[in-house]
Amino acid sequence: MSVKTKISLGIAFLFVVITLIGGLGVYYLERLDTDAQAIIKDNYRTLSYVQRMFKSMGDLQNMLEEELITRQNIANLSVNQKGFRESLSAFEQALEAQSANLTEAGEKELTNSLQKQYSELVALFDAPLSLRTYAQSGLPLIKNINGYLTSIYELNQDTVLEKNEKARITADRVIVYMLVIGSISMLVSLLFLLVFPNYIARPIKKLNESMKQIARKNYQHRIDVTATDEFGALARSFNTMAEKLKEYESTNLAQMLFEKKRTETIINKMSEAIIGLDENKVVLFANPKALHLLGMEENSLIHKYAPDVASANPLMHELIQELMISFNEWETVRYKPVEITEDGKESYYEKEIMDITMRDAGEARQKLIGHVIILKNVTRIKEIDQAKTAFMSGISHEMKTPISSIKMSLQLLEDERIGKLNNEQKELVLYIKDESEHLLRITHQMMELAQAKTGQLQLKTEPVNPDDIVRYALHTVKILAEEKQVILEYPHETGLPEVDADAEKIAWVMGSLLTNAIQNSSPGKKVIVDIVEKNNKIRFSVEDFGECIPEDQVEKVFDRYFQLPEQFQVGTGMELSVLQNFVQQQRGTIWLESKRGTGNKFYFTLPYSKKQRNSVQKQ
């Protein structure tokens, strides 16, 4: 029998019980109502009629006795007077109604006798007899009439009592029947309510427990199948599923072990040092390169708590310090390369920490399951950078001497004591002088750039108009923008407060960002420069609409040794890390926003000048 059929039968049973109790109640209530109606309809009316006739006869008897007392010498009784006729009329009406309501055995005979006596009384009153004759014949007739009325009254009263007793017995029987049937129905319904829900819930609970066993990967678990209903079919399907999962696990275990081994081999063969930690900072794996750098054996590192290892290993301490400090502190150390002595010489490694997250099946949020630390060898890049810095410093010093000689020669040419120059020669000298100044400025910039990379650059901050900074930078890239056919747009605000900055260095920052934006733009595209006042700072922005820097590289673009793709390289030889250094040394911040399809937008902020800050505070 199916579960659906059992539920239907259970509901049908409760419906039958409710219908039976309701039907019996209605049936016996109808019987009680019928008995009550019979009493009221038949006997109660007769009693009412008899009482009315008693009253009429009583009134007639009183009037007759009064006439006998007050009119003893009158020969005839005045039977036509109003009082006698009204009493007789009322009696006749009640007698007529009683004659139409004969319901009990013997009541008809008594009523007929009553009518006969009444007829004799009426005939007596209609005859012209003496008062004494009326007294001798009329009073006995009234007495007889009252006797018949008493008999009819007693007959109906006894019947009322009998019917009332019968109704009482019926009511008692109904109460007993309803109590018996109600008790039986209540017991059966209670038994049904106790047994049936458990019958439905037990296999569901059993299935739920079995599902938990499967969730714990206990694929050996099975459900005992004894039923033939839907629960039995569900249990058989569950057992089939468990069997299939067991087969799947056994067939894929070897494949999973193979994949795990292959992943370990790939990690071990990588040139970068890789260390894996779980969410509790316990070391899960480390490839040979990482073990070599740490100077540790695998068995002394794997499954060890990383902070415990770090207490005895300075390199491990430096690698995990970002996991042990707050985010604000992290920002100050995250771009610093790790210096490691390897094979007797100094090597430099760029550190990257990746948080590993996952989302469990059925869960909405991701949870942290571990960290991976990757050390990338940037020694070659740093050596090249140092060589480039040294070359720039050296070439700058070497170029200053010939440039000074050229300027001295120009001064001699301009001295009229040596000889006068014609107009064409003067123009040529002026041109050579301008180019020498330009070359000297470039040499000076190269020297300062070399100093910036070595951390020896000295900044000269002073109040500067932010509009002047932007306009100077726009002037330096004007020729490049015209060559690339890129439109420079500057919808600036007027009357902005001054900022404390080294005007030349900030102009370098703006010029480098503009150069980068122009190189990343196609002909006909715009590069928008903007400056706005925001939170007591001046915010500069450079926006292009070219190819976007990948979102996963946005946070890395300011890393010292991070290499952007070629199309995103910043011009004038200054890396973004250097630009960041310039801005940060002037108490500012720099960042990038890049979204697919909208281009790149660099921002940097500078604080108000000291004079402007004092003015704001006074306000």
Task: Burial-class residue 352 by CB neighbours within 10 Å (0-12, 13-18, 19+).
Answer: middle
- Residue 29 CA: distances (Å) to CA of 172, 422, 609: 12, 141, 101
Q: pTM surpassing 0.85?
A: no
Provide, rounded to the nearest whole percent, the portion of the chain with pLDDT above 90: 6
Beta bridge partners of 338: 349
What is the rounded distance in angstroms from the CA atom of residue 289 to the CA atom of residue 268? 8
Mean pLDDT computed over 151-164: 80
Residue 496 has phi, psi (to 5 degrees) of -75, 150
What pLDDT, on a 0 to 100 scale, did the predictor assign at position 44?
Answer: 78
Q: How confident is the model at residue 441 (pLDDT cuts 50, 70, 90)?
A: low
Task: Burial-class residue 169 by CB neighbours within 10 Å (0-12, 13-18, 19+).
Answer: exposed
3-class DSSP assignment, residue 491:
coil
What is the rounded distance in angstroms from the CA atom of residue 599 to the CA atom of residue 484? 17
Q: How confident is the model at residue 141 (pLDDT cuts 50, 70, 90)?
A: confident
- Residue 22 CA: distances (Å) to CA of 34, 183, 276: 18, 14, 76
Return the structure tokens found at 468. 């002047």
What pLDDT, on a 0 to 100 scale, did the predictor assign at position 570?
Answer: 47
Q: Which residues contact 483 (CB under 8 A, 6 or more apart)?
A: none
What single DSSP character describes residue 203?
H
Mean pLDDT computed over 130-138: 64
3-class DSSP assignment, residue 212:
helix
Task: Burial-class residue 251 by CB neighbours within 10 Å (0-12, 13-18, 19+).
Answer: exposed
Mean pLDDT computed over 524-549: 89
pLDDT, one tens digit per residue, over 383-407 is 666 666 666 666 666 666 677 777 7
Does position 514 have pLDDT exceeding 50, yes or no? Answer: yes
Q: Confirm if 578 and 445 have CB atoms less than 8 A apart.
A: no
Q: Confirm if 298 and 291 have CB atoms less than 8 A apart.
A: yes
What is the rounded distance in angstroms from the CA atom of residue 447 to the CA atom of residue 132? 169
- The Cα diameter of the chain in Å comes to 196
Does position 75 have pLDDT exceeding 60, yes or no? Answer: no
Q: Confirm if 514 and 528 have CB atoms less than 8 A apart.
A: no
Residue 608 has phi, psi (to 5 degrees) of -55, 155
Closest CA to 153 of 249, 55, 228, 30: 55
What pLDDT, on a 0 to 100 scale, did the predictor assign at position 362?
Answer: 62
How many Cβ atoms are within 10 Å of 23's Cβ, its own excluded? 10
Encoded amino acid at 237, one letter: S
Q: How confident is the model at residue 67 (pLDDT cuts 50, 70, 90)?
A: low
The angle subtended at Cα 371 by Cα 367 and Cα 377, nearest 5°, is: 150
Does position 510 have pLDDT exceeding 80, yes or no? Answer: yes
The angle subtended at Cα 544 by Cα 540 and Cα 549, nearest 5°, is: 105
Residue 490 has phi, psi (to 5 degrees) of -135, 80
What pLDDT, on a 0 to 100 scale, did the predictor assign at position 53?
Answer: 84
Does position 33 have pLDDT exceeding 70, yes or no? Answer: no
What is the rounded distance in angstroms from the CA atom of residue 364 to the CA atom of residue 346? 47
Task: Burial-class residue 205 by CB neighbours within 10 Å (0-12, 13-18, 19+).
Answer: exposed
Least confident of 27-36, 412-421, 595-604: 27-36
Q: If residue 279 lies in a helix (H) or strand (E), which one and from where to where?
A: none
Encoded amino acid at 8, one letter: S
The residue ranking higher by pLDDT, 415 or 565, is 415
What pLDDT, on a 0 to 100 scale, did the predictor assign at position 605?
Answer: 92
Q: Confirm if 311 and 321 have CB atoms less than 8 A apart.
A: no
Beta bridge partners of 600: 544, 594
Most confident of 73-82, 408-417, 454-463: 408-417
pLDDT, one tens digit per residue, over 251-281 is 666 677 777 788 878 888 887 889 999 888 8
